[in-house]
Amino acid sequence: MMRRRNLFCYLMVMPAILMVLLLGVYPMLASIRMSFLQYDLLRMRDGTPFVGFKNFQDIFADPRFRMAILNTFLFTIIVISTVIFLGLMIAQLLNMEFRGRGFLRTLILVPWVTPPVVAAMIWMWIFNPERSPINQILRAAGLIQVNIRWLTDASSFGPFSIPMFAVSSVRVWNGLAFVTIMILASLQSIPHELYEAAQIDGAGALARFRYVTLPMVRPVIAILVTLLSLSAMGHFEVNYVMTGGGPRDLTNIVGVLAYQRAFTHYRFDQGAAMTTVILLITATIATFYIRSRFRES
Amino acid sequence: MIARTIPIRRIDWQDILRRFAITVFAIATFIFVLMPFFWTLKSSFQTDLEILAIPPKWFPRSLTLEFYIQALKLAPIPRYMLNSLLVSFITAVLCTTFGSMAGYVLARYPFPGATLILAFFLFTQLIPSITRIFPVYFVLRDLRLLNTYVGLVIAYVSFSLPYAVLMLQGFFRASYPIELEEAALIDGCNWFTAFTRIILPISIPGIVAIATYSFLGAWNDFLWASLILNKGEMKTIQVGLRDYIGEMGLQQVNAFMAACVMTAIPAIVLFRFAQRNIVTGLTAGAVKG
């Protein structure tokens, strides 16, 4: 009986496991393998010999890749810190009682389901230098004399540049809703008595935020930071569509560079080595995350 | 009569200041969130002359649908939309079927290896999909599934499945007591019919959420569609839009913005329809954990 029931269970999970193995786990392993081979589509006559760590040595010697790694971390940090800060603020507001709250809650979710390509297109139009409403407002306010070239200004300060901030802000726009609803849900789970008790004890608004709200939302923020850094490390769409990594690679992140290396330069080996670097970083974060979640339950 | 005392409240200046600061800040953020929609909409109604004016004009002179009709002729946009619709719909059906089968037994029967299987799904869910693009491309090529709808659907189903399994597993676990199945088994159901006749019909909210989630994943995707299926009329709408702007640049921005509006609308409407279920499913896991 027990054995028949277990058989039933395995049959039920089998389709899902097979599909995830075929296009989830196997490709990850195959990608690692590919990064140790010579896999150059223009030199396929030589076959695909094993070359050890050569691809990794090559990409780490390549200034474009080193820049892409730096940019990926920069992009991740800018996006996460902005999105968490804004999300915390908006969630606070949406947690207050006022008319039209339900309507606002729905509105704030809309960018979340806007397709990333459409989001990128819309913002490219908004960032068109001569016709940008932002430039128009900044000019009218007397803050700038020359239009800002949001996506093409190639001057930079270290890794910081205007296109990098422009691209990051589009990602923030697309991802803000998710963060807001997660924080909002945790705010709503805080019992009201906690605030009343704090108020009776003489805590002002800032103290209540510091000693009641923050400790209660901290677990959710920890989860969000983990999930967002995992997805930002492998981000692709917005940068690829808006700038293709330019100008001067200022917005080039590892995902985009790897894609170009493979499908433009036919160097699948180097592309695979780059994504393997992402895999190593994200797998480390993911393992810690999974362990902490399973320990709790 | 009982005298009612009116509590004398100290004015909490800190609180007022905080509310004021948050409100100002939030209004700025709402402008940031909503301005792009306004800009897209207004652009989709402006004539060629108006839209290319420098400095930009904020309001269209008339609300004509002319550019929406033009958008349909820009590129085979209706065809691209139908392609996306077909692929996303089949993805949603398959993903929901396989996801609920696996989610159900993982939630209900503590069979050997269940925890390991859950960890396995969670791990593949967390790793960004960019780390497997090249081999996926070669696997589908070797199966002769490049430039076919079947190939794209298989890819989407397998990428959405981990989250579907995890979320439905949590849903089945939280939603009803184990006695429900025990009663069904006594009444003559077997394990499978207990699942299909008793559990599934009362799990509609979770299933709607996952169907919508996987539909949107496929509808909004660009990376995989551009890799797997980029031939002529078979393209999905996201690839079609991107290729159009790549070729045409700033010509006919108005019609192009109209096309963007039409692409976003199905996603927004569908999401609005299942919003409550999705948000509940999403937050339940993270807030508790």
The domain that contains A181 carries what CATH number?
Answer: 1.10.3720.10
Q: d(Cα A297, Cα B162) in Å, to the nearest integer?
A: 19
pLDDT at position A62 over 90:
yes
Q: What is the mean pLDDT of residues A98-123?
A: 84
Q: Inter-axis angle of helices B13-45 and A162-188, to 10 degrees?
A: 120
pLDDT greater at residue B281 or residue A24 = A24
- Return the structure tokens found at B101: 């089968």
* The pLDDT value given to residue B78: 87
Q: d(Cα A273, Cα A271) in Å, to the nearest integer?
A: 5
pLDDT at position B280 over 80:
no
Query: Is A208 among the domain residues?
Result: yes
**Residue A81: which pLDDT band, with cuts at 50, 70 and 90?**
very high
Query: Is A93 among the domain residues?
Result: yes
Q: What is the mean pLDDT of chain A?
A: 88
Q: d(Cα B275, Cα B260) in Å, to the nearest integer?
A: 22
Q: d(Cα B276, Cα B209) in Å, to the nearest integer?
A: 8
Query: CB A212: neighbour CB atoms within 10 A?
Result: 18
Cis peptide leading into A219, omega within 30 of 0?
no
What secondary structure does DSSP assign to chain B, as a single string?
-PPPPPP-PPP-HHHHHHHHHHHHHHHHHHHHHHHHHHHHHHHHHS-HHHHT-SSPPSS-SS---HHHHHHHHHSSHHHHHHHHHHHHHHHHHHHHHHHHHHHHHHHH---TTHHHHHHHHHHHHHS-GGGGHHHHHHHHHHTT-TTSHHHHHHHHHHHHHHHHHHHHHHHHHHHS-THHHHHHHHTT--HHHIIIIIIGGGGHHHHHHHHHHHHHHHHH--HHHHHH--SGGG--HHHHHHHHHHHHTTTTHHHHHHHHHHHHHHHHHHHHHHHHHHHHHHHHHHHH-
- Return the structure tokens found at A290: 């999974």
How deeply is A104 buried, as exposed, middle or buried, from its count of CB atoms within 10 A (0-12, 13-18, 19+)? Answer: middle
Shortest Cα distance, chain A CAs vs residue B36, angstroms: 7
pLDDT at position B285 over 60:
no
User: Closest partner residue to B105 among A12, A236, A278, by Cβ?
Assistant: A12
Q: What is the pLDDT of residues B131-161, one digit of tens each?
A: 999 999 989 999 999 999 999 999 999 999 9
CB contact under 8 A, A15 and B102: yes
Query: Is A1 among the domain residues?
Result: no
CB contact under 8 A, B283 and A227: no
Mutate to test the interface with A, among B133, B210, B227, B273 (most CBs of A within 10 A): B133
Mutate to test the interface with A, among B123, B131, B238 (most CBs of A within 10 A): B131
* The pLDDT value given to residue A297: 65
> How many structural domains are present in chain A?
1
Q: Can you give the pTM of this predicted structure? A: 0.88
Provide the residue range defining the domain that includes A97: 35-123+161-296
Q: Which of A171-180, B135-144, B181-190 has the lowest mean pLDDT?
A: B181-190
**Residue B287: which pLDDT band, with cuts at 50, 70 and 90?**
very low
Q: What is the mean pLDDT of residues B43-49?
A: 86
Q: What is the mean pLDDT of chain B?
A: 84
User: Closest partner residue to A24 among B55, B109, B124, by Cβ?
Assistant: B124
pLDDT at position A102 over 50:
yes
**Residue B1: which pLDDT band, with cuts at 50, 70 and 90?**
very low
Shortest Cα distance, chain B CAs vs residue A164, angstroms: 18
Q: d(Cα B68, Cα B64) in Å, to the nearest integer?
A: 9
> Of all helices (H) and strands (E), which one includes residue A156?
strand A156-157
Q: What is the pLDDT of residues B216-261, one digit of tens each?
A: 899 989 999 998 987 888 999 999 888 887 776 667 888 888 888 8
Q: What is the mean pLDDT of residues B174-193?
A: 82
Q: What CATH class does B68-288 carry? A: mainly alpha
Q: Where are the domains of chain B?
A: 13-64, 68-288
